[in-house]
């Protein structure tokens, strides 16, 4: 199965993608995670994108398209993948189509999470993760079972993303509206776009996404 999860910053793409990995045995391709790994490793790419990333602007299409094509060609993607954070511009969407056609692949569904901007700021401002194992938490919606201790690995070392400050979040939302939202009509025209209410509790969003994917596997997906 090959899926795109679309939505503004904080819409819940990463949260749902991680769940789909377990459920369908396919890989999550988060371009944001790839960039964060490149920055953490201090690679030339990481240094090149750091300033743009931290300001909340988009890294260039050329870099992102090359990065995702290299990743999709790796053997672990053969069973399928969830694109989380890509494409983010119409140029990236067109390049993805061309690249998949070149490799004889096709998309099964494009799922857009619809959310309210005010809620996004609250979600992003409260988000943190375990520095050791990467498990994500939220100050209000998903606290560790024992305060200050990761549920999974027991570490007490937590981190926040560098682009989760008020200035960068506001820029990320502007960038989403200007450059990423135009992708929705692009996929709607192709008849593969499904919108899901991302304001519902995580478990309800999951049920709605599973409904879309079950329709896909039965071959009855229609655009909405």
**Residue 127 catalytic?**
yes
Closer by beta carbon to ligand AP5, 118 or else 222: 118
Cα–Cα distance measured from residue 56 to residue 112, given in angstroms and rounded to the nearest whole number: 21
Cα–Cα distance measured from residue 165 to residue 160, given in angstroms and rounded to the nearest whole number: 9
Residue 60: CB minimum distance to ligand AP5, A: 7
**Residue 190 catalytic?**
no
Residue 199: CB minimum distance to ligand AP5, A: 7
Is 175:145 a contact under the CB 8 Å cutoff? no
Closer by beta carbon to ligand AP5, 178 or else 217: 178
Which residue in the list 172, 189, 190, 194 is annotated as catalytic?
172
Which residue in the list 2, 13, 36, 123 is annotated as catalytic?
13
**Residue 13 catalytic?**
yes
Closer by beta carbon to ligand AP5, 135 or else 155: 135
Question: Strand runs (DSSP E) across 49-168, as ranges?
Answer: 81-84, 109-114, 127-130, 136-138, 158-159
**Residue 2 catalytic?**
no
The residues binding ligand AP5 (CB under 6 A) are 7, 9-15, 31-32, 35, 52-53, 56-59, 64, 85-86, 88, 92, 123-124, 127, 136, 138, 141-142, 163, 172, 198, 201-202, 205
Which residue in the list 127, 131, 162, 190 is annotated as catalytic?
127
Closer by beta carbon to ligand AP5, 87 or else 192: 87
Residues involved in catalysis: 13, 88, 127, 161, 172
């Amino acid at each position: 199965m090959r899926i795109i999860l679309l939505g503004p910053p904080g819409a819940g793409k990463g949260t749902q993608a991680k769940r789909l990995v377990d459920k369908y045995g396919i890989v999550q391709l988060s371009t944001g995670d790839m960039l964060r790994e490149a920055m953490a490793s201090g690679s030339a790419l990481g240094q090149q994108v750091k300033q743009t990333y931290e300001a909340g602007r988009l890294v260039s299409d050329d870099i992102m398209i090359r990065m995702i094509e290299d990743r999709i060609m790796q053997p672990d993607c053969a069973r399928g993948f969830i694109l989380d954070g890509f494409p983010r511009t119409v140029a990236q969407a067109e390049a993805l189509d061309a690249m998949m056609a070149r490799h004889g692949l096709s998309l099964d569904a494009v799922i857009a999470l619809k959310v309210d901007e005010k809620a996004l700021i609250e979600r992003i401002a409260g988000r943190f993760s375990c520095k050791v194992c990467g498990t994500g938490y939220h100050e209000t919606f998903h606290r560790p079972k024992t305060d200050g201790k990761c549920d999974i690995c027991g570490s007490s070392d937590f981190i926040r993303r560098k682009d989760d400050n008020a200035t960068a979040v506001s820029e990320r939302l502007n960038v989403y509206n200007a450059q990423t939202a135009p992708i929705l009509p692009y996929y709607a025209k192709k008849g593969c776009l499904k919108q899901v209410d991302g304001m519902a509790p995580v478990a309800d969003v999951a049920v709605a996404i599973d409904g879309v994917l079950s329709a896909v596997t039965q071959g009855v997906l229609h655009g909405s």
